[in-house]
Structure 1
Amino acid sequence: MKIAIISPGPFSVPPVKGSSVEHDIDEVTKMIDPEHQVTIYTRTCATYPKSAVEENRQFIRFPYNGPKPYLRRIISHIRKRKPDVIMVENRPIYVLTLKRHFPKIPVFVNMHSHVYGSPGMISKDKMKKVVRRASGFFTNSEFLRRHFMKTCKIPAHKIHAVHLGVDVSPYQVAKIHYSIRKIRKEIGLKPEDRVLFYAGRLMRAKGVHVLLKAFKEVCEQDPLARLVIVGGTGYGSNRLNPYVRELKQLAKPLGDKVKFVNFVPSAQMPLYYQVGDIVATPSVWKEAFCRVNLEAMASGKPVITTPRGGIGEVVTHQGSGFLIPPKDWKAELPALWKLLWSAPSIRTEMGKNALMRAKQFSWYATAQGYLEVFETALKKRKAASPPTKQDLRKTG
């Protein structure tokens, strides 16, 4: 099977600045069986050549100066390549142009969140057309699947929930890496400090303000408690916007108990997770999946998170972590912190459960989920097509 995968365009594949959609594309395509040929269309950048081949993957890179010229160049290349299936990543609007040029090729849309399927990004009328013309949709959680079935009236048989994966190896290897002590020292942590760790973008939807308000209560009962916040306002961006100023203001009374660390590239994150003892993801919006939880669990860290969106499909309450509604964090985080430090065996056991849970999410399983749907679509297309001259000769 020849598979064409079209990345959104603003970031490169593999990602240089840690963008999540592009990270997912890179990881899952590594696991696609070698008998399939995969062409990944992405943007040019200084880090990579315009085209490259890695085993059964070919990267074709074009300049990105807006979606229309980017997609126009991709379409020109697809005409030469003639793939069996096209997968559009997180940009349903691309489907309408692609189907005008390739009406017979099955085109799928992989939705990584609700954002680019919402009226702010695509009109309801255009989204209806996408639903009709696309061969199918993928989501990274059952929660997101149900969301699109309800809001966009996508038929159940046409939309498939396939969880993302994680490679636990780099997170486990990082546990014994010599540089962890150096990183802790650079952040300003002492050996005896007990560290609550946050990783992700600094945006209101991620609930970092909820975490800071709750952590203030933790500090009142535990003088050794420290909070490390890793991330910027965007992928590779460390702008001091109004929300970041608000966070710094909330942290100010806590002094050096709160450590802000700028954006860290995804390749270095396995090391940074080892800085923390417990990982917090206080999301207040309906997360589609929340990959940080999975990475934290791959590091063997207990997770304190919220039951928003698809998070509960990944984190098991009182198993690999705790699912606490955002409104209850201020009251419940101090009690959980006390429990996890007064009974170290609970923290250790929960870390083991977290790692076991993470191992259930593999990129190979994600790839197989995509391939099964593609193969079914191609069989249906073949069954619906009129017989070729070659077919008639065989039956003749």
Structure 2
Amino acid sequence: MHIAIISPGPFSVPPVKGSSVEHDIDEVTKMMDPEHQVTIYTRKCATYPKSSVEENRRFVRYRYNGPKPYLQKIMNHLRRHKPDVIMVENRPQYVLALKRRFPKIPVFVNMHSHVYASPAMISPQKMRRVVRIADGFITNSEYLRRYFMTKCKIPAAKIQAVHLGVDVSPYQQAKLHYTVKKLRKQLDLLPEHRVLFYAGRLIRAKGVHVLLRAFRKVSEQDPLARLVIVGGTGYGSNRLNPYVRELKKLAKPLGDKVKFVKFVPSAQMPLYYQIGDVVATPSVWQEAFCRVNLEAMASGKPVITTPRGGIGEVVTHQGSGFLIPPKAWKKELPSIWEGLWKHPQIKNEMGKHALSRAKQFSWYATAQGYLRVFEQSVQKRNAGRTQPNELLRAG
């Protein structure tokens, strides 16, 4: 089967600046069985050649100067190299042009969140048309699947949930890397310090302000507690915007107990996770999946998170971590923190459970989930083509 995957365009595949959708495209296509030919359409950048081939993956890169010219270049290439199936990543509006140009090729939309299906990104009228003409939808969680079934009236049979994966190897190997000690030293972290770790964008939806307010209570009862916050305002961006200023203001009374680290590329993140003893993801919005939780668990770290969106499909409460509503963090985080250090065997067992849980989310399983959806569609199309010939023979 020849599969064409169209990345959104603003970032490259593989990602240079750590963008999550592009990271997912790269990881899942590596795991697609070698008998399948995969063409990945993505942004041209200085890091990679215009076109390249890696085993059964072909990268075709175009300059991104807006969605319309970017998609037009892709469609011109698709016209010459017609695939068996097309998957659009996180940009449902691309379906409208693709189905006009290629009405007989199955086109799927892989939605990573609700954002690009919202009225701010696509009109309700156009989204209804996308729902009608697309051959199917994939989401990264059952939560997001149910959301689109309700919000966009997508029929249950037309939308499938396939969880994202993680490769635990680099996170486990990082535990023994000499760089971890170097990173801790750079952050003035002593061996006896107990580190709560955050990784992600510094945006209000991620709830970093919730974490800082709750950590203030933690630091009052535990002088050895430290908070390390890794991330920028966006992928590769360390802009000092009003929200980051608010975070710095919240952190100021805590002095050197809070350490801010600017954006770190995803390839280096396995090392940074080793700095922490426990990972916090205080999301206040309805997260579709929250890949940071899975990466933390792959590092064998207990996770303190919220029960928002699809998070509970990954993190098990009092198993691989804790699911605490955002409004309860200020009250509950200090007692959870105290319990983990008062009974270190509990923290260790949770870390083991987290690693075991992470191993259940492999990129190979994600790839197989996508392929099942594609194969069913291609078989259905082929059956429709052969049926008239069979009827003629029968006559």
Alignment of 1:101-180 (within 5 A): 101-180=101-180
Question: Displacement, 1:394?
Answer: 8.9
Question: Displacement, 1:387?
Answer: 5.3
Task: Give SS of 2:322's match.
Answer: strand
CA deviations 1:320-357 (Å, max 9, x no partner) are 00000000000000000000001110000000000000
Question: Displacement, 1:191?
Answer: 1.4
1:79 match? 79
Question: Displacement, 1:187?
Answer: 1.6
Task: Give SS of 2:125's match.
Answer: helix
Task: Give SS of 2:147's match.
Answer: helix
Question: Displacement, 1:392?
Answer: 9.0
Question: Displacement, 1:393?
Answer: 10
2:42 match? 42
Question: Displacement, 1:386?
Answer: 5.2
After the TM superposition, list the runs of 4 or more consecutive aligned residues in structure 1 that deviate by more than 6 angstroms.
391-396
* TM-aligned CA distance change 1:394 to 1:165, over 3 Å: farther
Alignment of 1:222-301 (within 5 A): 222-301=222-301
Question: Displacement, 1:34?
Answer: 0.3
* TM-aligned CA distance change 1:4 to 1:256, over 3 Å: same
CA deviations 1:38-73 (Å, max 9, x no partner) are 000000000000000000000000000000000000
Alignment of 1:9-48 (within 5 A): 9-48=9-48
Please give the alpha-carbon distance, in whole angstroms, between the structure 2 residues aligned to 1:191 and 1:240. Answer: 31
- The amino acid of 2:377's aligned partner reads A
Please give the alpha-carbon distance, in whole angstroms, between the structure 2 residues aligned to 1:93 and 1:227. Answer: 41
Task: Give SS of 2:232's match.
Answer: coil
Please give the alpha-carbon distance, in whole angstroms, between the structure 1 residues aligned to 2:175 and 2:4. Answer: 37
Please give the alpha-carbon distance, in whole angstroms, between the structure 1 residues aligned to 2:191 and 2:371. Answer: 47
1:310 match? 310
Please give the alpha-carbon distance, in whole angstroms, between the structure 2 residues aligned to 1:44 and 1:395. Answer: 53
Percent identity between the aligned chains?
79
Please give the alpha-carbon distance, in whole angstroms, between the structure 1 residues aligned to 2:57 and 2:387. Answer: 32
Alignment size in residue pairs: 395
**Aligned-residue CA RMSD in angstroms?**
1.3
1:357 aligns with 2:357: yes
Task: Give SS of 1:355's match.
Answer: helix
2:330 match? 330
CA deviations 1:104-149 (Å, max 9, x no partner) are 0000000000000111100100000000110000000000000000
- The amino acid of 2:22's aligned partner reads E
Question: Displacement, 1:385?
Answer: 2.2
Please give the alpha-carbon distance, in whole angstroms, between the structure 1 residues aligned to 2:24 and 2:394. Answer: 44
Normalising by structure 2, what TM-score? 0.98
Please give the alpha-carbon distance, in whole angstroms, between the structure 2 residues aligned to 1:84 and 1:25. Answer: 18
Question: Displacement, 1:379?
Answer: 1.1
- The amino acid of 2:279's aligned partner reads V
CA deviations 1:178-234 (Å, max 9, x no partner) are 110001111221111110000000000000000000000000000000000000000
- The amino acid of 1:151's aligned partner reads K
Task: Give SS of 2:180's match.
Answer: helix
Task: Give SS of 1:385's match.
Answer: helix
- The amino acid of 1:242's aligned partner reads P
Task: Give SS of 2:328's match.
Answer: helix
2:204 match? 204
* TM-aligned CA distance change 1:60 to 1:393, over 3 Å: farther
Please give the alpha-carbon distance, in whole angstroms, between the structure 2 residues aligned to 1:118 and 1:365. Answer: 29
1:375 match? 375
Please give the alpha-carbon distance, in whole angstroms, between the structure 1 residues aligned to 2:249 and 2:25. Answer: 37
Task: Give SS of 2:339's match.
Answer: helix
Consecutive unaligned residues of structure 1, counting only runs of 5 or more, are none
CA deviations 1:16-57 (Å, max 9, x no partner) are 000000000000000000000000000000000000000000
Consecutive unaligned residues of structure 2, counting only runs of 5 or more, are none
1:63 match? 63
Normalising by structure 1, what TM-score? 0.98
Please give the alpha-carbon distance, in whole angstroms, between the structure 2 residues aligned to 1:38 and 1:264. Answer: 29
- The amino acid of 1:306's aligned partner reads T
Please give the alpha-carbon distance, in whole angstroms, between the structure 2 residues aligned to 1:323 and 1:152. Answer: 28
